[in-house]
Amino acid sequence: MAHRADRWIFESFALTPRSLGVARIIVATYLVLYRAPELGWIGSLPDTFFRPPAGPLRVANGIPSSGVFTVLSVGLSVATVALLIGYHTRIASCCAGLLLFALDGFTYSFGHIHHSGTYLAAVLVIMAASNWGAAYSVDSVRRRDGPEPTTEAWPLALAALLLGFLMLTSALPNLASGWLDPSTTAVRAHIAHYHVIAPHDGLLGTLPLHSTSNLIWKPFDYLTLLFEVGFVIAIASPRATRLFCATAVVFHFAIFLGFGIDFTASVVAYAVFFEWSAVIDRLRAPETEPPASRAARELLWRSRAALGPAVLLAGVALYLLTDHFGAPIKRLAPRIVANPDQAATLLVFGVALAITLAYATFLTTCGAKRIRRSRLKPSPKQRVAAEP
């Protein structure tokens, strides 16, 4: 058992530096385009409303000054830019995660807690130990004469374990509140509840409430419980974890359609578990490097001394841009719904669903080819019989 546990922790979730490099770029791109800190509304509230959750924020006597939020927001912007290009990746990843924890903690101090962003912040801190800046990064250019970079698998196992128990903590209250009762329709009841109390409906509006049939709604209760409980079992296998993460993209999209709840942060965090290098190798030979890529590497190597100030200026510029215009993705998202936040979320889900479908198709195709090769390959008995 000890050997199996060691293998699960330190080997089973191992990914190539290129896979982790792609995952880092996906997460950082989301932070740059989507997670613009919008905390100006906090300053307009009285201190009596400030009730921070359990943690370091409890030491605050009241709502901090606007200067504190500015410093935290600028720090997050700089850390995000550094994470995107892979500049001092370990420090940038850890700082981005801790600053997200702090900013979300202030947001949660007024009654509403959204766990999607919390998991992404935890993943950023955890992945700081994975060396996910070993490829597609400035760090890889700066140490081009050093030894071949390696990555750690245990941070991915820890992130999977955390995800499994987060899903389980969501399932346990449901199990204790009658979701298994055949006479209740818990999912429909939640949609009706959100329709009454939420400031806006999901994209489906009141359409889901038109039907009251248990035959239609009860399977959704059972499927939700099966999915949430199954996650903690699926983490025993990296392949099953990836399958459940791909399913979770569809699951969170359905929640967004029905409830209007944004879980894009969790969807982006799932990217750390996938084998992106397999897709890259399928698109091009791994030993080839485009001339433009070689030229970019040489340019980065020659200008490495100016990278620090450039990252700082880019981070400040990102903060000023988001502070004035809001999250950049809100400007990029098509205005197909009335709420710009929903439009931006819908754009993220559209990209995530397309990537998930393409990834699933790629794995299915590779699996079918392996099965065909195994069938065509003669067995040991057939090889012995064929020998003269």
Helix 238-259 vs helix 214-234: angle between axes, to the nearest 10 degrees?
140
C-beta separation of 81 from 141 below 8 A: no
What is the per-residue pLDDT for 317? 92
Mean of the per-residue pLDDT values of the chain: 82
What is the per-residue pLDDT for 159? 95
C-beta separation of 236 from 163 below 8 A: no
Instruction: Kindly report the backbone phi and psi dihedral angles of residue 23, in degrees, each rounded to the nearest multiple of 5, phi listed first.
Output: -60, -40
Other CB atoms within 10 Å distance of the CB of residue 108: 19
Nearest to 115 by CA among 261, 323, 259, 6: 261
Tokens for 367, please give them. Answer: 């699996």
- Residue 339: DSSP 8-state: -
Nearest to 119 by CA among 263, 276, 275: 263
In the chain, % helix, strand, coil (3-state, to 5) comes to 75, 0, 25
pLDDT tens for residues 63-74? Answer: 888 888 889 999
pLDDT tens for residues 155-196? Answer: 999 999 999 999 998 888 888 887 888 888 888 888 887 777
Tokens for 216, please give them. Answer: 């239609």
C-beta separation of 188 from 209 below 8 A: yes
Q: How confident is the model at residue 383 (pLDDT cuts 50, 70, 90)?
A: very low
DSSP code string of 274-307: S-HHHHHHHHS-TT---HHHHHHHHHHHHTGGGH
pLDDT tens for residues 188-226? Answer: 888 887 777 766 667 777 777 777 788 888 888 899 999
Q: Contacts by 314-318 with C-beta closer than 8 Å and gap 24+? A: 314/78, 314/81, 315/74, 315/77, 315/78, 315/79, 315/80, 315/81, 315/82, 316/74, 316/77, 316/78, 318/32, 318/77, 318/80, 318/81
Share of the chain above pLDDT 90, in %: 29
Q: How confident is the model at residue 144 (pLDDT cuts 50, 70, 90)?
A: low
Position 124: which residue type? L
Other CB atoms within 10 Å distance of the CB of residue 6: 12
Nearest to 225 by CA among 160, 273, 177: 177
Q: Would you say residue 386 has pLDDT above 50? A: no
C-beta separation of 137 from 151 below 8 A: no
The pTM of this model reads 0.86
The CA-atom distances, in angstroms, between 153 and each of 74, 110, 127, 149 are 31, 37, 10, 13
Q: Would you say residue 370 has pLDDT above 70? A: no
CA distance 188 to 171: 17
Helix, strand, or coil (residue 183): coil
Instruction: Match 């399928």 to its residue by tokens.
Output: 282
Helix, strand, or coil (residue 177): coil
What is the per-residue pLDDT for 292? 58
Mean pLDDT value across residues 348-374: 73
C-beta separation of 34 from 348 below 8 A: yes
Determine the Cα angle at 153 with ends 116 and 91, to 5°: 65
Q: Would you say residue 289 has pLDDT above 50? A: yes
The alpha carbon dihedral of 209, 213, 216, 218 has a sign of positive
Mean pLDDT value across residues 50-64: 80
C-beta separation of 284 from 387 below 8 A: no
